[in-house]
Amino acid sequence: MTLTSLRKPTIGVVDIWRIPLGDPDGYDELLSPAERERLRTRIGTGRVRFVQSHAALRRIVALYQGCAPRLAALRVPYGQAPRADGIELSLAYCDDIALVAVATTPVGVDVEPRAAGHDEDLDELAELTLSRRELATFRSAPDRAATWLRAWTRKEAVLKARGEGIGERLVSEIDVASEHVEELTLSDLAPTEEHVGAVALRNPETTMVWKELA
């Protein structure tokens, strides 16, 4: 039986899939052998998030490829962006939510709980992670926690869109004060009332289309 493919996003469009995380029972069957091997290193809530988010990623890719999840052409190398034929992907998850960004040009997505912006050492965090321009904005911001967290999620999204890891360069060197960072366009996300995020897309403009995975 041939399944109908979901239409891929056009240039400049990012499909953002919002996935609530919860009971992982049954979802580990959707994981690849390599993912199951990595699953052995996860315990507790980390295990739940891994199973659900990776299974959701496979189901989403299968929708675009018009096949059953087990047959999706998807590779998820450790520490790197997931790769699938014909589409660009990025996965982020925290607490009880995951986001999958799908586009036709390189894309990066990040999500964090709003509470992550609140920290007793926020001033030191800002000095360590923000560029000079961002730091000026931070110091005059009415909501410093939200300002710092917005910058952080943008930086993570930029790194992921470029295929770089957090440990490859200082995040303070990535200036995300503007919505355009060289070849990337940044958009802030509010996937739920309790979470914030950002998406970076290699395109002069970005249109986001929110999708829910049943």
Residues that bind other proteins (CB under 8 A): 41-44, 46, 94, 112, 116, 119-121, 124-125, 128-129, 152, 156, 165-171, 173
Whose Cβ is closer to other proteins: residue 69's or residue 117's?
117
Round to whole Å and give the CA distance between 68 and 80.
24
- CA 41 to chain CA centroid, nearest Å: 21
Whose Cβ is closer to other proteins: residue 23's or residue 121's?
121
| Contacts of 97 by beta carbon, 8 Å cutoff, 6+ apart | 18, 19, 20, 21, 111, 191, 192, 195
65 Rama class: left (phi>0) / alpha (psi -120 to 50) / beta: alpha
Smallest gap from residue 202 Cβ to other proteins (A): 22
Whose Cβ is closer to other proteins: residue 7's or residue 40's?
40
Smallest gap from residue 44 Cβ to other proteins (A): 6
Whose Cβ is closer to other proteins: residue 1's or residue 43's?
43
Smallest gap from residue 149 Cβ to other proteins (A): 9
Smallest gap from residue 20 Cβ to other proteins (A): 19
Smallest gap from residue 52 Cβ to other proteins (A): 16
* 92 within 8 A of 197, measured Cβ to Cβ: yes
Tell me which amino acid residue 49 is: R
Whose Cβ is closer to other proteins: residue 173's or residue 182's?
173
**Six token digits for residue 198:** 């950002």
Instruction: Please state, in angstroms and as integers, the Cα–Cα distance from residue 207 to each residue in 18, 37, 102, 111, following that order.
Output: 16, 36, 12, 18
Here the contacts of 117-124 (C-beta below 8 Å, separation 24 or greater) are: 117/145, 117/146, 117/147, 117/148, 117/149, 117/196, 118/145, 119/145, 122/148
Using DSSP bridges, classify how beta strands 207-212 and 13-20 pair: parallel, antiparallel or unpaired: parallel
Whose Cβ is closer to other proteins: residue 59's or residue 162's?
162
Smallest gap from residue 165 Cβ to other proteins (A): 7
